[in-house]
Amino acid sequence: MRRMARRKLPRIAFDFIDGGADGELCLQRNRAAFERYCLVPRYLRDVSRRDQSVELFGRRYASPIGISPTGLAGLFRPDADLMLAAAARSADVPFLLSSASNAAWEDAIAIAPDHVWFQMYCTRDEHINDDLVRRAREARTRVLVVSVDVPVNSNRERNRRNGFSRPFRMTAGVVLEALGHPAWVLRYLRTGGIPMMQNWKPYAKTGADAASVADLYGTLTPAPMITWRHMQRIRQNWTGPLVIKGLLHPEDARQAVRLGVDGIVVSNHGGRQLDAAPAPLDMLPAIREAVGDRMTLILDSGVRRGSDVAIARALGASSTIFGRPTLYAVAAGGQAGAERALQIVRNELDMVMTQIGCESYQELDGSYLWAAGHGMSQPQGEYARRLASA
């Protein structure tokens, strides 16, 4: 899917999906974390039936995977956000729709009301923050996800080299390279150029074009003044399941528990913010130890295969989500591409569970892991006690 997307997209668009911050060491670290673990099979077990379903916030989904929030998807293919929503509905998994999407989340929820969660960034305007929560509530959004790991725009060097910034710098080199991808250029021109960020249009002046709305978004975010006080306000205004995305420190996880947050997406923003950040998989056991069974933990960043989903579960994750695979896929093949990407990971997880002798995703724990340099792994503390009593 990545190779297909690279062929179909101009460099300025492909690098926005593919790249990370600074020297992109965090991207490598996210993948290397999974490579330190092996899954040790147990044979002579009846695994003729496998169950990889998982319950998240009161609803059971078919697989412990989902689609991470990915902004500006409409730039890579028109209506990509709606295609991702439909693909999530088809696979019966969650789709965390980004507030930086091009589709309005009300439209995405109309397509997949049981599968679309809404991800928002807090802005510099508290009235807009309150209004985003109100809109999510009135649209009957199942889960509200607040990303907190973008206090400042990061140094994404590929974007700067390509002119992917506000305002866009469509240099002669960028235009010439884009002409090598005529199908994308035709769609771009046919749909009027840069797509509208629909979720932010209500806060712009009447008649504002897509560029003006994007500029407004750039003045409202990032918001480095956001603190736990703002999260407390959201918790008071939102009665449904509330998830914080982007926490990596165990003490922050404990604070989220104290605030009454229902879940955490353990994530380093896919390596796109702090290049020196640890891999979420490496922080997952400590965070699980910190929160025990009081919190749903969803792992994001670096997940590429079904075996990654199994490893994350064995280390304490409730489920996993990923963004680049489905973004490559929808860019390459539309809704069918996104559905295929989800199917690949689901099929791989089923094969892995069969191979290691585990009939239920819920039963995956540290006893299936062998860590390089550490031997067999075992769940620790509260997580171990929860597994023992399950």
Which of the following is catalytic: 115, 127, 230, 269? 269
Comparing C-alpha atoms, which of 52, 92, 67 is closest to residue 352?
52
Please work out, in degrees rounded to the nearest 5, the angle formed at the alpha carbon of residue 197 by the alpha carbons of 193 and 200. Answer: 145
E-only strand ranges, the chain: 37-39, 54-56, 59-61, 95-98, 116-121, 144-147, 242-247, 263-266, 296-299, 319-320, 369-371, 375-376
302 is in an annotated binding site: yes
205 is in an annotated binding site: no
Residue 222 near residue 203, CB atoms below 8 Å: no
Does residue 181 carry a catalytic annotation? no
Residue 310 near residue 304, CB atoms below 8 Å: no
125 is in an annotated binding site: no
59 is in an annotated binding site: no
70 is in an annotated binding site: yes
Residue 306 near residue 341, CB atoms below 8 Å: no
119 is in an annotated binding site: yes
319 is in an annotated binding site: no
303 is in an annotated binding site: yes
Distance CA 272, CA 158 (A): 11
300 is in an annotated binding site: yes
69 is in an annotated binding site: yes
156 is in an annotated binding site: yes
| Burial label, 357 (beta-carbon count in 10 A; 0-12, 13-18, 19+) | middle
Residue set of the binding site: 69-71, 98, 119, 121, 156, 245, 267, 269, 272, 300-304, 323-324
Active-site annotation, residues = 269
Residue set of the binding site for FMN: 69-71, 98, 119, 245, 267, 300-304, 323-324
Residue set of the binding site for glyoxylate: 121, 156, 269, 272
